[in-house]
Amino acid sequence: MWLLTEEHLEPISIGAGILGTGGGGNPYIGRLRARQLIRKHGPIKVLDVDELPSDSRVICVGGIGAPTVGIEKVRDLQSFHALRAIEEYTGEKATALISNEIGGSNSLEPLIAASMSGLPVVDADGMGRAFPEFQMKTFFVHGASYYPLAVSDEKGNTVVIPEVISPKWAERLARASTIQMGCVACYAVTPMSAIQVKETAVLKTLSLVYQIGQAVLLARDKQENPVEAILNAHPGQVLFRGKITDVARRTSEGWARGSVIIEGMDSFIGSEMKIDFQNENLVAHLNGDPVCMVPDLICIVETDRGEPITTELLRYGFRVTVLGFLSPYLWTGEKGLAVVGPRAFGYDLDYFPLGKE
């Protein structure tokens, strides 16, 4: 068990930005919200999965909406209201909370509900990175239930979805409610047991993003190489280093799609990397050949400062390093790949793990 204080928030948001693989939105507001509540209610308890009592009831909470709306109509305590609603509906009291998504600003959402309820959060999440939709969680792929679920807005409205035929349908129905609610809702899903969390969650990710962020801050402080510091905190691979020479964007069906071209520098001189994104970075091609793809993580950071760059901020001239990390194993089986593999995002590619082909 450790206590999450105000000092942890900056490193967590940097680490969460890196594992956000280009998506997950701007963490500035999430950080301020968590800070506001920690100042009021004190630090938040973080439990290792092994510390969960066997009769635990763990509830997953997360934000759902549009990031562009969230910077104008800032989220309040929606995740807390959704938590209370699902407790009431199921008649079960939560004993701990868990993050749906450790990448990007959603990583901080359970902290809001935890601070309000006094409950601990589990050091784990349902993606080990960022993905755009509700159904894309290791919990559901590995058998944890995705219903009933509650969706709450900031006005006091809550929708409970008692039954739904698939996680994808849960996404559709929750999304439709969210839009009517004005696009900054939160959801809470029916409780999981301690065993379920152990078997279906990506473990130790909250402490991981903290360690990654802390390593970056320390390296900046000592004027050391922040990219090396990231890799020391979380083993992975430098896929490429260079300068962004082109960014092409288009929007279709509500997605920010596009690709970025990076021209090699240093040991990569003469080579070119192209990364396709759809909110998150999906596939990286080196000189035309795919070298890293979802669900493996493709993270673009500023070479000098190790600062994660979200896809909306990609711009010509940035000096960047592209890092690749192996996906949590929970994604790389047949069932996982069906939900978040390259084909699930429309690529005619068979997944192979980073470094294997």
Binding stretches for another protein (CB under 8 A): 28-29, 32-33, 36-37, 65-69, 71-77, 112, 132, 154-156, 175, 179, 182-184, 243, 245-246, 251, 254-256, 263, 279, 313, 315-318
Tell me the closest approach of the beta carbon of residue 284 to another protein, in angstroms: 20
Would you say 200 or 321 has its CB closer to another protein?
321
Would you say 30 or 191 has its CB closer to another protein?
30
CA 63 – CA 107 distance, rounded (Å): 9
Tell me the closest approach of the beta carbon of residue 35 to another protein, in angstroms: 9
Tell me the closest approach of the beta carbon of residue 31 to another protein, in angstroms: 10
Tell me the closest approach of the beta carbon of residue 232 to another protein, in angstroms: 28
- Collapsed DSSP state (helix, strand, coil) of residue 349: coil
Instruction: Give DSSP secondary structure letters for 161-175.
Output: E---SSHHHHHHHHH
Tell me the closest approach of the beta carbon of residue 168 to another protein, in angstroms: 15
Cβ–Cβ < 8 Å for 54, 47: no
Tell me the closest approach of the beta carbon of residue 115 to another protein, in angstroms: 11
What end-to-end distance do the CA atoms of the chain give, in Å?
40
Show the CA angle centred on residue 23, arms to residues 17 and 27, nearest 5°. 45
CA 238 – CA 217 distance, rounded (Å): 19
Would you say 250 or 356 has its CB closer to another protein?
250
Tell me the closest approach of the beta carbon of residue 196 to another protein, in angstroms: 28
Q: How far is CA 248 from CA 187, 251, 256, 289, 311, in A?
A: 33, 11, 11, 19, 11
Contacts of 333 (CB under 8 A, 6+ apart): none
Cβ–Cβ < 8 Å for 130, 97: no
Would you say 65 or 290 has its CB closer to another protein?
65
Q: How far is CA 2 from CA 206, 216, 353, in A?
A: 11, 21, 33
Would you say 176 or 338 has its CB closer to another protein?
176
Q: State the residue for tokens 């890092």.
A: 323
Tell me the closest approach of the beta carbon of residue 136 to another protein, in angstroms: 14
Cβ–Cβ < 8 Å for 244, 315: yes
Q: How far is CA 34 from CA 38, 95, 188, 214, 260, in A?
A: 6, 20, 18, 18, 33
Q: What is the 3-state secondary structure (H, E, C) of 208-252?
A: HHHHHHHHHHHHHHCCCCHHHHHHHHCCCEEEEEEEEEEEEEEEE
Would you say 290 or 308 has its CB closer to another protein?
308
Tell me the closest approach of the beta carbon of residue 81 to another protein, in angstroms: 11
Would you say 288 or 317 has its CB closer to another protein?
317
Q: What are 290's strand-pairing partners?
A: 285
Would you say 127 or 233 has its CB closer to another protein?
127
Would you say 50 or 253 has its CB closer to another protein?
253
